[in-house]
Amino acid sequence: MSPELPAPVLCLASASPRRRDLLWQIGVPHKAVPANLDERMLPGESPHDYVERLALEKAMTVRNRGERLPVLAADTAVVLEGTIYGKPADRADALAMLGKLSGRVHQVITAVALATARSVEVRVSTASVRLRELTLAEREAYWQTGEPRGKAGGYAIQGFGAVFVESLSGSYPAVVGLPLAETAELLRAAGLACWQGRGA
């Protein structure tokens, strides 16, 4: 039998299994409570401001519902030449999106926010990712795996899409969805330790 999980010290304002896995990876016991916000961009909003605003709004929304634990939230955007590539609407959208990213360098901007009883703080991480040239047949086959559905930019670096990634400059966990160095910094400032329940 597996040992009983420690009591949560944090509330994650997300339903993302990838963000949950990353928090467990650094030993932070938590529970998940999705914020369920309208995630449309505001007129004239930059990608950086967009992810920062959403991370803050997610954290504060869950906190203001009466959550007593510190609330961590994040938001990620895939950006090419100033345009955000979100989750593909359908097969045609995914194929077109991957075609745009093919053979080029794009940015993955991820904001992480922590709301406590005292304050709310936010950090932003930017990584650069180059995808190799992708043929139409490869993009079609990748769509058939089901992975592009629900993924910003239409690919998952931690999944089958890893075979498309030629190079990465920046934080790998941030591209997955949660910049761990920045997250640990926010947690440490709030008096929350990583690596809980780890070790012999």
Give the active site residues.
Answer: 75
CA separation (Å) from 45 to 49, 113, 194? Answer: 6, 19, 34
Q: Is the distance from CB of 74 to CB of 131 less than 8 angstroms?
A: no
CA–CA dist 113, 56 (Å, integer): 6
Q: What angle do CA 128, 130, 136 make, to 5 degrees?
A: 140
Decide: helix, strand or coil at residue 120: strand
User: Residue 70 and residue 174: Cα distance in Å, rounded?
Assistant: 20
Residue type, 60: M
The secondary structure of 142-197, three-state, reads: HHHCCCCCCCHHHCCCCCHHHHHEEEEECCHHHHHCCCHHHHHHHHHHCCCCCCCC
